[in-house]
Structure 1
Amino acid sequence: MTDTAAYFPLLRGQRVAVLANQTSVAEMPGAAGADAAGRVHLVDLLHGEGFDVAAIFSPEHGFRGTADAGEHVKSSVDTRTGIPIRSLYDGNTKRPSDEAMRSFDVLVVDMQDVGLRFYTYYISMLRMMDACADFGRRVVVLDRPNPNGHIIDGPVLDMKYRSGVGAIPVPVLHGLTMGEIARMAAGEGWAKKCALTVVKCRNYTHATEYLLPVAPSPNLPTARAVYLYAALCPFEGTVVSLGRGTDKPFEMYGHPDMTGRAFTFTPRPTAGAKHPPLEGRLCRGVDLSGMPLAEARDVGFSLKYVMDACADLGMGDKFFTPMFEKLVGVEWVREMILAGAPEEEIRARWADDVERYREKRMQYLLYE
């Protein structure tokens, strides 16, 4: 976003739309629209520079990033600039109307992803790429680092489980930035080919540690939550709470019937979790909020927490919901856990698929 020389020329004289949210900010002291601390939002920057910003498209959680996961968000108007906000999560369609598509010439995409297949911002981007391909619109992706970009792991999505939380056949941790996802999706035919420009991050490699300056969504408020997300999000497909409705979501897990656990918590309605799972019930479980950041950064897609809770509760198949397959991407992980297979054996089953993906991924990388 700060490399304005790379993309401002593409926007001059064009009607501009943006796909953006609360993460579309950068430190740019003195820039048009910057606040006293020098931080500026992409919309305010473009508006302040005199560009014709015709529309803001907003992904899951809304333009301001405050809505619950999957919550319907109405279209509205940005109060600061008067620009219409067109929600892609309004419950009616995940794709803009023909009228909306005709209102602009170039789409600028700038959102902070966290590097997981079931994190939905990239899906909104791919849907917009498809629409832009149909209407001959250019797409400019302002790239951002992937905080989990150092790990590639987990099953590759079986496309029969394709859903709103998994759209392309990549591992759970895919090791791509948004710009690289756009390139790979177009190259592999997972999205329609459009006129695509990616403005690269400077001084970034996939090994670079990157702490997010803005929470990417309401329930990933900390760096530790971002790192543990891959290992704890599969609990969304079980009876277990992962801490939604507490001050430490994605840093704990528990259930009222878990045994021998000193740690307890009670999910309550909070911003971003209006009705959390197991609301109002005392849960016993595990607190991971004290894990050192360096350790959390290397957890990756571990099944040990899900397997721990599954064994403790002894519910068999009732431990899982159909969402579990949509998240892990294949049917055999559940089957192997219930059969008592060790984690190493389960991991070995996806290793060859991940290796084939790594080789395919190489041709689309923009960073070492």
Structure 2
Amino acid sequence: MRFISTLILTFLAISNIECTAQIALSNQRISDSSRIVTGADQTEKYLPYLKGKRIGLVANQSSLIGKKSIVDSLVSLGINIVKVFGPEHGFRGNASNGAVVGNEVDAKTGIPIISLYGKNQKPSKEQLADIDLMVFDIQDVGCRYYTNINTLEYVMEACAENNKELLILDRPNPNAYVVDGPVMTDDKFKSAIGVHYIPMTHGMTIGEFAQYLNGEGYLKEQCKIKIIKVADYDHDMTYVLPINPSPNLNTKQAVMLFPSLCMFEGTAINEGRGTRMPFTILGAPALKGKYTFSYKPVSIPGMSERPNHKDSVCYGLDLRKYDINKLRESRQINLSWLIELYNAYPDKANFFTPGRVNQDISAFDLRIGTDQLRKQIIAGVPEADIRKSWEPELQKFKAIRMKYLLYP
């Protein structure tokens, strides 16, 4: 009996040591993330490659060397930047979501800025004529409906067609730990927020995604790319962005919740646009009496001029203090909020909003990349069964993804 007691105590002691070691390792990994060095910050690896060349730069406000704009930094280092190409939200990142951004001249440097959001999504032959090398440096957040990956594809396509090399200065994906959601398999759901066979969160950096586009034959011809990898980085590391990647992702909480809350943009629920707390709160006027938390979306220039339910009091969920470590632990998009608010919404026939172009395909379906999730929620399918229905295609994608990873 004494032997068994000793054995149990020994086992518990070993388990406690292992648990403590795991916690220490986890804490170490979080602290290690502060040592991450982005591709742009490793100037010694690419400055010699830029010298003497006419450079076209795809950049926005997230394109930094240290705390300074990459454009300003490279110009001060004697690099000849001929043009800057800006994605959604513009080069300086001060345009609202979906806002038309025109061409302009940067007031600080005098360099022409070409907008790649709107009618001119792809650099033209004429725009690339006086460029020797294109450079891409934009922070992404790892979601199919975040349009930076679309900009990347258009730039790669243009470079391939015009025999231009593309240098990619890679950056961490703050949501790289999660590969989840339905994989888009039906072309009828293709749109500006969903183009290829990828799930809602793809778990790749911009550099890895570029390799994926090349390797899976999504371009008419392969683009010649050179990638400056992120140093001291892997996909499980936490990464706090040094600057907002877009006007409505203005906190770490918003960046982490974005994959789960952006789904609501295809519904009657406001996801915090029109407030200073976007992608951390959810609500609608029709939920009055169901929830006590309330807020009022208003027009905010540079963030959201026409938010859903503008100037109306919305009632719903306050997720500003939600423990985002739960998302990291589960490695999943949160579906429970979508199910909960659908069940609480009194006018279920109008919960999912119709599409603007094709009324037969809802805005929600385009965002998700399938109509199955909407149908499952309406039918009351349990969350576990919904997730199970994603698995076959998710596993196929994960196997493909593995071929293009640059980081553990």
Output the TM-score relative to the length of structure 1: 0.94
Matched with 1:306 is: 338
- Give 1:122 shift: 1.2
> Tell me, what secondary structure is at the counterpart of 1:197?
strand
Matched with 1:281 is: 312
State how far apart, in whole Å, the 1-side matches of 2:391 and 2:94 are.
37
State how far apart, in whole Å, the 1-side matches of 2:63 and 2:329 are.
27
Matched with 2:23 is: none
* 2:130 pairs with one of 87, 100, 103: 103
- Give 1:92 shift: 2.4
State how far apart, in whole Å, the 1-side matches of 2:193 and 2:370 are.
13
- Give 1:98 shift: 2.2
Q: Determine whether 1:72 maps to 2:103.
A: no
Structure 1's consecutive aligned runs of 4 or more residues displaced over 6 angstroms after TM superposition are none
State how far apart, in whole Å, the 2-side matches of 1:265 and 1:110 are.
36
Deviates more, 1:183-192 or 1:13-22: 183-192
Contact 1:107–1:138 (CA under 8 A) maintained in structure 2: yes
Contact 2:336–2:383 (CA under 8 A) maintained in structure 1: yes
Contact 2:274–2:310 (CA under 8 A) maintained in structure 1: yes
The one-letter code matched in structure 2 to 1:336 is Q
State how far apart, in whole Å, the 2-side matches of 1:52 and 1:66 are.
25
Contact 1:227–1:297 (CA under 8 A) maintained in structure 2: no
Matched with 2:266 is: 237
> Tell me, what secondary structure is at the counterpart of 2:65?
strand
Q: Determine whether 1:353 maps to 2:393.
A: yes
Matches within 5 A, 1:1-368: 1-27=40-66, 39-89=67-117, 91-158=118-185, 159-191=187-219, 192-258=221-287, 259-270=289-300, 271-295=302-326, 297-298=328-329, 300-321=332-353, 322-368=362-408
Unaligned runs of 5+ in 1: 28-38
State how far apart, in whole Å, the 2-side matches of 1:25 and 1:166 are.
27
- Give 1:296 shift: 5.0
The one-letter code matched in structure 1 to 2:323 is P
The one-letter code matched in structure 2 to 1:19 is V
State how far apart, in whole Å, the 2-side matches of 1:309 and 1:337 are.
11
> Tell me, what secondary structure is at the counterpart of 1:335?
helix
Contact 1:223–1:293 (CA under 8 A) maintained in structure 2: no
The one-letter code matched in structure 2 to 1:17 is G
Contact 1:228–1:297 (CA under 8 A) maintained in structure 2: no
> Tell me, what secondary structure is at the counterpart of 1:257?
helix
Instruction: Provide, for residues 106-149 of structure 1, a one-character-per-residue CA deviation record: whole Å limited to 9, x for no partner.
Output: 11000110011111111101101000000000001100001000
- Give 1:318 shift: 2.0
Q: Over aligned residues, Cα RMSD in angstroms?
A: 1.3
Structure whose alpha-carbon radius of gyration is higher: 2
State how far apart, in whole Å, the 1-side matches of 2:41 and 2:65 are.
7
Deviates more, 1:111-120 or 1:185-194: 185-194
State how far apart, in whole Å, the 2-side matches of 1:293 and 1:364 are.
28
- Give 1:292 shift: 2.8
- Give 1:297 shift: 4.4
- Give 1:298 shift: 4.8
175 and 211 in structure 1: CA distance in 2 versus 1, 3 angstrom threshold: same
Q: How many residues align?
A: 356
State how far apart, in whole Å, the 2-side matches of 1:168 and 1:92 are.
21
Deviates more, 1:308-317 or 1:178-187: 308-317
26 and 11 in structure 1: CA distance in 2 versus 1, 3 angstrom threshold: closer
Relative to its length, the structure with more helix (as a share) is: 2
Contact 2:257–2:324 (CA under 8 A) maintained in structure 1: no
Instruction: Provide, for residues 80-102 of structure 1, a one-character-per-residue CA deviation record: whole Å limited to 9, x for no partner.
Output: 1111000012x322112321021
